[in-house]
Amino acid sequence: MDRQNENKMITINENKKSDLPSVQPPTGRFAPSPSGRMHLGNVYSALAAWLCAKSAGGKFLLRMEDLDPMRCPRKFADLILSDLEWLGLTWDNAEIPYQSERTAVYENFYQQLAEKNLIYPCFCSRAQLHVADAPHASDGRVVYAGTCRHLTPEEIKQKRSRRSPATRLILPDTTICFTDGHYGSQTFNLARDWGDIIIRRSDGVFAYQLAVTADDALMGVTQVVRGCDLLSSSAPQIFLFRTFGYEPPCYLHLPLLITGEGARLAKRDKAADLGFLRQQCPDPEPLIGYIAWLLGQLPKPEPATADDLLSFFDAKKIPGHDIVIPGNYWEKL
């Protein structure tokens, strides 16, 4: 493995104007993981992404991120389609990509990384990772210490006889700079903030960072709107875009919806589940209006369709802090 440039500091600067969209017309997307019913946070992200693209005359694409079909049965993807249609969030692609059906696509990108000597097998167990690696200062993410990076061919052969390895991508000492459409200038050092990341699990399933980059590149996505919990993921994705020879999209990350205790809304929160919300609110307009108010687009919660919001949507009005959702919020719909 050629490691001549391993310690060379490089800066990749993707800084662009922070006003979305910087590409006209934009191609946005919504890419849910169908591991359960949509919840309020999903609808919030989907509406924001739809408005950012459609208000600028762009396209809005849909993709199902069901990399692990055991966790993502098709019934949940079907419910997402039904819920988006009910909400009036139409999509422009006739065929919806399902990541579980795109293994051959990811294999092609994986081989490109192999040809560039950017991957290596990793035999570390989960327990070993948490003992040996340092958590990231800001979000508790474990940064891999590179334990398996320099294994010899003989060591790899011996370890492979005992267990199947995952595959890691070598992330160099490279600084990624870009301007987020909501949070402004961002700087991440790949080696310090991420370390070498898994791009294929030991069971052969490709990991999120590889699949999402490949799909956004091939779908022609130029605008990514998603929650700020994925803000730092933009850095390795930009690196992958450049490595594969594609232009990275513009990013806009949204403040999170949180409970009164500060926890992020999750699919296990039944009061945020869209099945529950559709029982409480037979028509979508009150829910769309409520989320538009959360996004700073309406002065108060009032019924609206997604189309109603297009003429005055302004991404600059999105709040700059996480948004607390009261426990009985559905009573206001």
pLDDT computed for residue 161 by the predictor: 94
Residue 314 has pLDDT above 90, yes or no: yes
Report in angstroms the alpha-carbon separations of 229 from 45, 257, 259, 305, 307.
Answer: 12, 11, 15, 27, 28
Report in angstroms the alpha-carbon separations of 175 from 14, 172, 187, 204, 238.
Answer: 11, 9, 7, 30, 11
Contact 262, 67 (CB under 8 A): no
Dist CA 158 CA 161 (whole Å): 5
pLDDT computed for residue 299 by the predictor: 96
- Out of 65-79, 139-153, 299-313, the most confident range is 299-313
| Helices and strands counted in the chain (H then E) | 11, 14
- The single-letter DSSP state of residue 234 is H
pLDDT mean across residues, the chain: 89
pLDDT computed for residue 95 by the predictor: 96
Quickly list DSSP for 193-215.
Answer: HT-SEEEE-TTSPBPHHHHHHHH
Q: Is the pTM of this model over 0.85?
A: yes
pLDDT digits (tens, 9 = 90+) for 89-124: 999 999 999 999 999 999 999 999 999 999 999 999
pLDDT computed for residue 270 by the predictor: 64
What region does 115 belong to: left with phi over 0, alpha with psi -120 to 50, or beta? alpha
Q: Which residue in this structure is represented by tokens 């849909």?
A: 62
Dist CA 31 CA 17 (whole Å): 24
Dist CA 36 CA 29 (whole Å): 19
pLDDT computed for residue 128 by the predictor: 55
pLDDT computed for residue 32 by the predictor: 95
Sorted by where each starts, the structural domains of the chain and their CATH numbers stand as 16-99+213-332 (3.40.50.620), 103-211 (3.90.800.10)
Question: What is the average pLDDT across 291-305?
Answer: 96
Dist CA 159 CA 30 (whole Å): 40
Dist CA 201 CA 131 (whole Å): 20
pLDDT computed for residue 121 by the predictor: 97
**Which band of pLDDT confidence, cut at 50, 70 and 90, is reported for residue 125?**
confident
* CA 115 to centroid of chain Cα atoms: 26
pLDDT computed for residue 331 by the predictor: 78
* CA 312 to centroid of chain Cα atoms: 27
pLDDT computed for residue 264 by the predictor: 80
Residue 136 has pLDDT above 70, yes or no: no
Residue 21 has pLDDT above 60, yes or no: no
Question: What is the average pLDDT across 57-70?
Answer: 94
Which of 66, 112, 140 shows the shortest CA–CA distance to 242? 112
Rg (CA), the chain: 21
Count of beta carbons in the 10 Å neighbourhood of residue 282: 8
Contact 206, 200 (CB under 8 A): yes
pLDDT computed for residue 140 by the predictor: 60
pLDDT digits (tens, 9 = 90+) for 227-281: 999 999 999 999 999 999 999 999 999 999 988 777 787 666 666 889 989 998 8
pLDDT digits (tens, 9 = 90+) for 140-190: 677 898 999 999 999 999 999 999 999 999 999 999 999 999 999 999 999
pLDDT digits (tens, 9 = 90+) for 193-231: 999 999 999 999 999 999 999 999 999 999 999 999 999
pLDDT computed for residue 236 by the predictor: 97
The size of the chain, in residues, is: 333
DSSP reduced 3-state for 187: strand
Question: What is the average pLDDT across 54-61?
Answer: 97
pLDDT computed for residue 12 by the predictor: 65
